[in-house]
A and B are shown apart, each in its own frame.
Chain A
Amino acid sequence: MLLLPVLLLPVLLFRSPGGRLPLFRFRFPGGRLMDLAYSAEEEDFRARLRAWLAEVLPKLPPRPDPLDWPARRAHDMSWQRALYDAGYAGLHWPAEAGGRGATPTQHLIFLEETEAAGAPYVGAGFVGLLHAGPTIAAEGTPEQCERWLPPILRGEQVWCQGFSEPDAGSDLAALRTRAVRDGDDYVVTGAKIWTSHAEVADWCELLVRTDPGAPRHRGITWLAMPMDAPGITVRPLRTLAGSTEFAEVFLDEVRVPVRNRVGAENDGWRVTMVTLSYERGTAFVGEVVACRRTLRLLARRARENGRWDDPAVRRELGRLNAVFTALWRLTQWNVSEAEHSLRRGGTSVPGLGGSVFKLRYSHARQELYEAAAQVLGPQALDLDEEWTRGRLSSLSYTIAAGTSQIQRNIVAERILGLPKGR
């Protein structure tokens, strides 16, 4: 990391209207400014990771059938265990929570290298490692941390997320699933939707309404619900791609112990939002790396099947090359901003970068698979083509994790300062 000594600030003089214009005078230290190079420590981290991946990946069993959830869980968890044994589990978690306290740049390198090497994705470990775990680490009691965090890091327990409801999607604070205190338990009744990994999860991070009379954001509580509790019905939803990536979860008087509550009663909205401060601009690193690889493979395929001779196809691939290169640079920018913020003791999200990135990336991914269809020609109708399935999956990107319309509202109101609509 390049840190400029304060003493080397430039002496900058500029003209006052009507006066004589002196030269800009600068004294810069040696070395690059706006540094895109990685430090020796970062390169060492990369080299050790690459060596480890080269050793373990060939021994990994083949990926299971995407429709076989128990097999997917087993595969993802054994990979998490391997990461744990090698010291890479919870890389971006703070050391107090059992993580490695890695810098955002190290996390970027980790995600870049694992994707480039074809390592398994976080998969069934997603909610535990990226949302529920960090929430517990930040807001849970020492006992709760001890109980839930080590099994996440070791790949022993799977978490799912019970936030969205049939009538609370983009407007999450409209959630209505009720929790009523009864002795040492909350009795929970309602319905959740878009719950990934629900069929194979051990725990659900659940948002419930504990005070229906309070303002919307102030009557919500965060609970850890054991998925084997009586009264839970999981109904898988089939996506348009034919897979069952998420489910509806119906809750009928499910008893959740009060000691499973993280944070205070009715403080669940804040508890949930705190986790956003764990976002370091790295959320889509692996995906951008994968898209750039897909783009190169598309060019190769087009050269083989003759579509390359069509200048419209060629130019679109060239344009996408520019877009994904820019998205990689935007990622590096956001990670640098996050790292800088952390160094100053802050935890702030790269908010501007995050929403801007999500907006551009989700559309770019769809453009990529439209280009793939151009390259495939009639074979774009063949579901045995990986890119045909990718084209179907890409349709979710402008909806999941905040629709493009919601993201534009966020950008316009919170960054550009435009007034809220009435």
Chain B
Amino acid sequence: MDFRLTEDQEALRRGMRDLLTARFDASVLHRTAAGTGAATDAGTRTDAGTRTRVDADAGPGDAASGGGGLLRGSGPGGAAALDRALWRELGAAGVFSLRIPEDSGGAGLGLPEAVLLFEEAGAALLPGPLAASHLAAGLVPGAADGTAIVTAVDLVERGPVEHLDSAETVLVLGDTVGTTAPEALAAEPVRSLDPLSPLHRVRQPPDAGGGPLGAGGRPEPLEADPAVLRRRAALLTAAQQLGSAGRTLALAVGHARRREQFGQPIGAFQAVKHLCAEMLVRSETARSMVYAAAVTEDYGDIRAAKLLADDAAVQNARDCLQVHGGMGFTWEAEVHLHVKRAWLRAGQWVTAVTAEEELATVL
């Protein structure tokens, strides 16, 4: 047994982090959410992923380093379109093709490595249907290299569909797996809670036998096991939640060190200190579970990983907001984006009710 990250995996993680720092750092995130304007006290991304001291002392991110935001333009319901150039860069970097065998043009790596990349994406709050596109690689043309954006609809959980207007293809997961064109989906836009994640609500089919495509529509069938895809989607979503939980911990610690009240950093007060300590406990417990689930790919492990990572992301974001005080409640701090994304991801794939019920059943 050697349940540690290998040097290769650490290098992979650093590569993803560097890519995101160059293309989607805190200042870009900020500008994207704000629409216009420069970053304020957004902090820099820190070593949230490693089990070493969290160094959040660094100052605000370099607002000049970023390119454009990932979201461009405006669609129905005030939704914004994803930045295709960045999506293709993610594809070229291997984010989607990571697990495709080397002789088929991928990197030939496994879920543990994919989880590390998705953790970094979650820390940066990179928007987009990342899990769906990653799972579509090799199944849907263009998904692997990022030339096609693929989103997904789960007919079992019936959660909202993200980035429908940016997508070329929709994966449809029911008893079988299929694809459909976005415009064929019977869906209506939602004024999304998460400003970076446009959402559509799938309308209930007119009758029990009907599909999500409205009258007469049928998805194009794909050779894939819907249970396996759901499981992996849940794991990759858990990884993003884990990344967010680590990031909000680093933001809270950084703020608690810098912000002074009553003549000392607020981090010197035990009331604040203990909030931060519990954030670390949550994220480290979730981390062990997410990494182990990536190795075993056991469904029980994945359910546990999703449940704990959702809890870590949501609770850490809320505690981070609390540590930031009034500023945490503003649009200007990064915190609200983590709260909103964490709520969104918690409602995707395996929700808490499903995870807990299923984990009880196997006892």
B7 partner residues in chain A, CB cutoff 8 A: 4, 9
- Asked whether, in the complex, the Cβ of A336 is within 8 Å of the Cβ of B363, the reply is no
B301 partner residues in chain A, CB cutoff 8 A: 325
Select which of A2, A296, A325, A422 is within 8 A of B2 by beta carbon. Answer: A2
B53 partner residues in chain A, CB cutoff 8 A: 415-417
- Asked whether, in the complex, the Cβ of B4 is within 8 Å of the Cβ of A418, the reply is no
CB of B108 within 8 Å of the partner chain: yes
Question: How distant is A422 from chain B, measured CB to nearest CB, in Å?
Answer: 6
- Asked whether, in the complex, the Cβ of B288 is within 8 Å of the Cβ of A333, the reply is yes
**A26→B93 CA distance, assembly (Å):** 12
CB of B222 within 8 Å of the partner chain: no
B257 partner residues in chain A, CB cutoff 8 A: 417-419
A407 partner residues in chain B, CB cutoff 8 A: 277
- Asked whether, in the complex, the Cβ of B277 is within 8 Å of the Cβ of A9, the reply is no
Select which of A1, A32, A359, A421 is within 8 A of B269 by beta carbon. Answer: A421
Select which of B12, B51, B55 is within 8 A of A352 by beta carbon. Answer: B51
- Asked whether, in the complex, the Cβ of B253 is within 8 Å of the Cβ of A418, the reply is yes
- Asked whether, in the complex, the Cβ of B280 is within 8 Å of the Cβ of A416, the reply is yes
**A321→B109 CA distance, assembly (Å):** 30
**A329→B272 CA distance, assembly (Å):** 28
B89 partner residues in chain A, CB cutoff 8 A: 15, 21
Q: A residues 368-422 with Cβ under 8 Å of B?
A: 405, 407-409, 411-413, 415-422
Contact count A vs B, C-beta below 8 Å? 240
- Asked whether, in the complex, the Cβ of B308 is within 8 Å of the Cβ of A17, the reply is no
**A411→B113 CA distance, assembly (Å):** 28
| Interface size, chain B (Cβ < 8 Å) | 78
- Asked whether, in the complex, the Cβ of A36 is within 8 Å of the Cβ of B292, the reply is yes
A14 partner residues in chain B, CB cutoff 8 A: 14-15, 18-19, 93
Chain B 259-298 near chain A by CB (<8 Å), digits 1 or 0: 0000011011110111011101100111011011011100
**A206→B273 CA distance, assembly (Å):** 33
A91-99, A170-178, A256-264, A311-319: which one contacts chain B? A311-319
* Given known A21-B89, A419-B264, contact A413–B273 (CB-CB < 8 A): yes
**A332→B356 CA distance, assembly (Å):** 23
A4 partner residues in chain B, CB cutoff 8 A: 6-8
CB of B300 within 8 Å of the partner chain: yes
Select which of A26, A39, A296, A326 is within 8 A of B1 by beta carbon. Answer: A39
Question: How distant is B56 from chain A, measured CB to nearest CB, in Å?
Answer: 8
- Asked whether, in the complex, the Cβ of B270 is within 8 Å of the Cβ of A36, the reply is no
Chain A 328-341 near chain B by CB (<8 Å), digits 1 or 0: 01101101110110
Question: How distant is B8 from chain A, measured CB to nearest CB, in Å?
Answer: 5
Q: Closest residue to B109 on the A side, CB-wise?
A: A26
CB of B358 within 8 Å of the partner chain: yes
- Asked whether, in the complex, the Cβ of B2 is within 8 Å of the Cβ of A15, the reply is no
- Asked whether, in the complex, the Cβ of A330 is within 8 Å of the Cβ of B284, the reply is yes
CB of B63 within 8 Å of the partner chain: no
CB of A295 within 8 Å of the partner chain: yes
- Asked whether, in the complex, the Cβ of B357 is within 8 Å of the Cβ of A314, the reply is yes
- Asked whether, in the complex, the Cβ of A33 is within 8 Å of the Cβ of B264, the reply is no
A83 partner residues in chain B, CB cutoff 8 A: none
CB of A35 within 8 Å of the partner chain: yes
Q: Closest residue to A419 on the B side, CB-wise?
A: B268
Q: B residues 54-95 with Cβ under 8 Å of A?
A: 54-55, 57, 65, 89, 92-94
B300 partner residues in chain A, CB cutoff 8 A: 321, 325
CB of B360 within 8 Å of the partner chain: yes
Select which of B19, B294, B296, B356 is within 8 A of A315 by beta carbon. Answer: B356
CB of A360 within 8 Å of the partner chain: yes
Q: B residues 5-61 with Cβ under 8 Å of A?
A: 5-9, 11-12, 14-15, 18-19, 22-23, 51, 53-55, 57
Select which of B4, B109, B286, B362 is within 8 A of A336 by beta carbon. Answer: B4
Interface residues of B (CB under 8 A from A): 1-9, 11-12, 14-15, 18-19, 22-23, 51, 53-55, 57, 65, 89, 92-94, 98, 107-110, 112-113, 249, 253, 256-257, 264-265, 267-270, 272-274, 276-278, 280-281, 284-286, 288-289, 291-292, 294-296, 300-301, 303-304, 307-308, 353, 355-363
Interface residues of A (CB under 8 A from B): 1-2, 4, 8-10, 12-17, 21-26, 28, 32-39, 42, 105, 295-296, 298-299, 311, 314-319, 321-323, 325-327, 329-330, 332-333, 335-337, 339-340, 352-353, 356, 359-360, 405, 407-409, 411-413, 415-422
* Contacts A35-B295, A326-B304, A359-B281 supplied; 18 other A-B pairs, CB < 8 Å: A12-B12, A15-B18, A17-B22, A25-B107, A26-B109, A28-B108, A34-B4, A34-B6, A295-B363, A318-B356, A319-B307, A329-B3, A329-B289, A337-B51, A353-B51, A359-B277, A360-B285, A412-B273
Q: Give me 28 A-to-B residue pairs in the complex whose CB atoms sit less than 8 angstroms apart, sorted by A's number.
A: A4-B8, A9-B11, A14-B15, A14-B19, A15-B18, A17-B22, A23-B94, A24-B107, A26-B109, A33-B113, A36-B296, A105-B1, A296-B363, A314-B357, A315-B353, A321-B304, A321-B360, A323-B308, A329-B3, A329-B288, A330-B284, A336-B3, A340-B4, A405-B274, A416-B53, A416-B253, A416-B280, A419-B268
